[in-house]
Amino acid sequence: MLEQIDTDFVLLSPAAADAVRELLQDRRLEGFGLRVFVQGGGCSGVQYGMAFENNFLDSDLTMEAHGIKVVVDDISIGYLRGASIDFVDGPQGKGFLINNPNNISACGCGGGESHSHDSDGCGCGGSCACNN
């Protein structure tokens, strides 16, 4: 089991925090946080997205996990509460994995309840309409 910081909206693993930290440093994005959001469409209903951002709204929910600022908008939180974000590096590649226990629809491309967002934007091997 991963050691994670429990929050009132998302879990961020140490591996995910390290990957985000490295990307922020490589891109020299001081003061930026990780925005996590949902958007409609695709084979599994809502799709997950992540972006680096430094423009935060008063209505955003923010937290800090393992030194990383995580931001979720007030609409997406209804879909993301209790979700976990991890970073995996394995035989099928490396990328971020969002596991959402609230997801009740199954992805027809093998994604099930875990949706990975790697460098191609979709952990479904490109067969899903992942919109990141």
CA-nearest of 21, 19, 27 to 87 is: 19
9-34 tens-digit pLDDT: 789 999 999 999 999 999 999 999 99
The region that residue 58 occupies, defined by phi over 0 for left and psi between -120 and 50 for alpha, beta otherwise, is alpha
- What confidence tier does 106 reach under pLDDT thresholds 50, 70, 90? very low
> CA–CA separation, 18 vs 38, rounded Å?
23
The full length of the chain comes to: 132
82-105 tens-digit pLDDT: 899 999 998 989 999 999 887 655
In a domain, 5, yes or no: no
Backbone angles phi, psi at 110, to 5 degrees: 90, 5
- CB–CB of 83/98 below 8 Å? yes
> CA–CA separation, 49 vs 132, rounded Å?
5
In a domain, 128, yes or no: no
Number of domains in the chain: 1
In a domain, 3, yes or no: no
> CA–CA separation, 2 vs 13, rounded Å?
7
In a domain, 112, yes or no: yes
In a domain, 89, yes or no: yes
Q: So what's the pLDDT on residue 85?
A: 95
Instruction: Provide mean pLDDT across the span 97-125.
Output: 51
In a domain, 96, yes or no: yes
Q: Which CATH number does the domain housing residue 72 bear?
A: 2.60.300.12
Q: What is the mean pLDDT of the chain?
A: 76
Complete edge-to-edge strand list for the sheet that includes strand 47-53: 47-53, 33-39, 68-72, 61-65
The whole domain housing 56 covers 10-118
Instruction: Provide mean pLDDT across the span 62-73.
Output: 93
Amino acid at 126: G
In a domain, 124, yes or no: no
Q: So what's the pLDDT on residue 8?
A: 59
- Residue 59 predicted with pLDDT over 70: yes
